[in-house]
Structure 1
Amino acid sequence: MASFCHRCGTSLRAGDAKRMGDYAVQTAEGVTQLALISTVMPHTSRRSADNYRWAMVLSGVLILGATALGLLPIAIAAAAFLVPLTYIVYIDDVNLWEEAPAAVVVGLFVATGALAVLVSLFFYEWVFDGQWASFSGGGRSRGGIGALSFPALLIFAVLLPVVAEVAKNVFAVLLASRDAFDDMIDGLTFGVAAGTAYAAFETLVVYSSVFTAQEFRTESGIGSWIVVVLNVMVVKSLIYGTATGIAVAAFSGKGEGYDGFTPAYFANFGLAVVANIAFWLGVRLLAYLPFGNMLGLLWGLVILAALILKIRMMLQVALLEAAVEAAAKGDGSEDKRSTFLETFCPECENMLLPNASFCIVCGTSVRSSSRQAKRAMGVGSVPAASTPPAAPTNGGAA
Structure 2
Amino acid sequence: MPCPTCSSDNPEVAAYCHKCGTSLRAGAGTQRSYAVASSEGVCQFALISTVMPHTSRESADNYRWAMILSSVLVVGATALGLLPVAVAAAALLVPLAYLVYIYDVNLWEDAPVAVVLGVFVVSGALALLVSLVFFDWVFAGQFQEFAAGGRARSGFDLGSILVPLLVFAVLLPVVSEVLRNLPGVVLARMPQFDDMIDGLTFGVAAGTAYAAVETLVLYRAVFTSGELRTTEGLAGWIVVVVNLMVVKSLVYGTATGIAVAAFSGKGEGYDGLTAFYLRNLGFACLANVAYWLGVRLLAYLPYGQALGLLWGFLVLAVLVVRIRVMLQAALLEAAVEDAAKAESSSRDVFVETFCPECENMLLSGAQFCIVCGESVRAVSRQTRRQMAASPGDPPPEQPTEGGAS
Taking structure 2 as the reference length, what is the TM-score of the superposition?
0.92
Aligned to 2:186: 174
Do residues 68 (structure 1) and 79 (structure 2) align?
yes
Do the aligned partners of 1:343 and 1:376 also contact (CA within 8 Å) in 2?
Answer: no
1:381-392 equivalences under 5 Å are: 381-383=393-395
CA distance in 2 between counterparts of 1:142 and 1:246 reads 35
Deviation, structure 1 residue 382: 3.4
Find the residue that maps to 1:137 and give its secondary structure.
helix
Aligned equivalent of 1:228, options 223, 240, 264: 240
Aligned equivalent of 1:114, options 115, 118, 125: 125
Aligned equivalent of 2:92, options 58, 77, 81: 81
How many corresponding residue pairs?
Answer: 383
CA distance in 1 between counterparts of 2:298 and 2:319 reads 21
Note closer, same or farther for the CA distance 1:343–1:227 as it changes in structure 2 (3 Å cut): same
One-letter code aligned to 2:349? T
Deviation, structure 1 residue 172: 1.1
Q: Which has the higher mean CA deviation after the structures are superposed, 132-141 or 282-291?
A: 132-141
Note closer, same or farther for the CA distance 1:384–1:115 as it changes in structure 2 (3 Å cut): closer
Deviation string, structure 1 residues 213-247 (Cα, Å, up to 9, x no partner) = 02121110000000000000000000000000000
Aligned equivalent of 1:337, options 347, 358, 363: 347
Aligned to 2:115: 104
Deviation, structure 1 residue 337: 2.1
Aligned to 2:372: 362
CA distance in 2 between counterparts of 1:138 and 1:22 reads 47
Do residues 196 (structure 1) and 208 (structure 2) align?
yes
One-letter code aligned to 1:321? E
Do residues 128 (structure 1) and 136 (structure 2) align?
no
Aligned to 2:383: 373
Do the aligned partners of 1:346 and 1:377 also contact (CA within 8 Å) in 2?
Answer: no
Aligned equivalent of 1:312, options 315, 324, 332: 324
Deviation, structure 1 residue 31: 0.3
Aligned to 2:39: 28
CA distance in 2 between counterparts of 1:316 and 1:142 reads 44
CA distance in 2 between counterparts of 1:385 and 1:355 reads 18
Aligned to 1:210: 222
One-letter code aligned to 2:176? A
Note closer, same or farther for the CA distance 1:139–1:240 as it changes in structure 2 (3 Å cut): closer
Note closer, same or farther for the CA distance 1:375–1:139 as it changes in structure 2 (3 Å cut): closer
Do the aligned partners of 1:344 and 1:351 also contact (CA within 8 Å) in 2?
Answer: yes
Deviation, structure 1 residue 370: 1.6
Aligned to 1:38: 49
Gaps of 5+ in 1: 387-398
Deviation, structure 1 residue 331: 4.8
CA distance in 1 between counterparts of 2:204 and 2:150 reads 35
Aligned to 2:21: 9
CA distance in 1 between counterparts of 2:64 and 2:178 reads 30
Deviation string, structure 1 residues 349-381 (Cα, Å, up to 9, x no partner) = 111111100011111000111233323323222
Do the aligned partners of 1:22 and 1:31 also contact (CA within 8 Å) in 2?
Answer: yes
Aligned equivalent of 1:253, options 265, 274, 278: 265
Deviation, structure 1 residue 322: 0.4
Gaps of 5+ in 2: 1-12, 399-405
Find the residue that maps to 2:14 and give its secondary structure.
coil
One-letter code aligned to 2:133? F
Find the residue that maps to 2:156 and give its secondary structure.
helix
Deviation, structure 1 residue 135: 0.6
CA distance in 2 between counterparts of 1:271 and 1:102 reads 29
Do the aligned partners of 1:4 and 1:359 also contact (CA within 8 Å) in 2?
Answer: yes
Deviation, structure 1 residue 340: 2.7
Note closer, same or farther for the CA distance 1:322–1:159 as it changes in structure 2 (3 Å cut): same
Deviation, structure 1 residue 384: 6.4
CA distance in 2 between counterparts of 1:216 and 1:140 reads 22
Deviation string, structure 1 residues 141-190 (Cα, Å, up to 9, x no partner) = 26321274211111000010011011101111111111110100000001
Do residues 328 (structure 1) and 340 (structure 2) align?
yes
Q: Which has the higher mean CA deviation after the structures are superposed, 338-347 or 218-227?
A: 338-347
Do the aligned partners of 1:345 and 1:352 also contact (CA within 8 Å) in 2?
Answer: yes
Deviation, structure 1 residue 253: 0.3
Deviation, structure 1 residue 338: 2.4
CA distance in 2 between counterparts of 1:142 and 1:281 reads 16
Aligned to 1:137: 148
Aligned to 1:393: none
Do residues 280 (structure 1) and 299 (structure 2) align?
no
Note closer, same or farther for the CA distance 1:34–1:384 as it changes in structure 2 (3 Å cut): closer
Taking structure 1 as the reference length, what is the TM-score of the superposition?
0.93
Note closer, same or farther for the CA distance 1:215–1:263 as it changes in structure 2 (3 Å cut): same
Deviation string, structure 1 residues 186-226 (Cα, Å, up to 9, x no partner) = 00001100000110000011101111002121110000000
Do residues 300 (structure 1) and 312 (structure 2) align?
yes
Do the aligned partners of 2:23 and 2:32 also contact (CA within 8 Å) in 1?
Answer: no
CA distance in 2 between counterparts of 1:142 and 1:342 reads 65
Q: Which has the higher mean CA deviation after the structures are superposed, 228-237 or 366-375?
A: 366-375
